[in-house]
Amino acid sequence: MIVPQDFFESTILSLFDQAGMTLTDAQKRTYIPQFQVQLERRISNEFTARLSEAQLKEFVSMIDNENTTPEAWSNFWHSAIPNFEAELQKIVVAFSSEMVTLLA
40-66 pLDDT, tens digit per residue, is: 899 999 999 999 999 999 999 999 999
Q: List Cβ neighbours of 68 (8 Å cut-off, separation of 6 or more).
A: 62
- List, run by run, the mean pLDDT of 10-residue segments along the chain (104 residues): 66 81 86 88 94 96 92 92 91 85 74
Q: Fill in the DSSP letter of residue 79.
A: H
Going from the C-alpha of 29 to that of each of 3, 24, 33, 71, the distances in angstroms are 19, 9, 7, 28
pLDDT for 5 equals 60
pLDDT for 52 equals 97
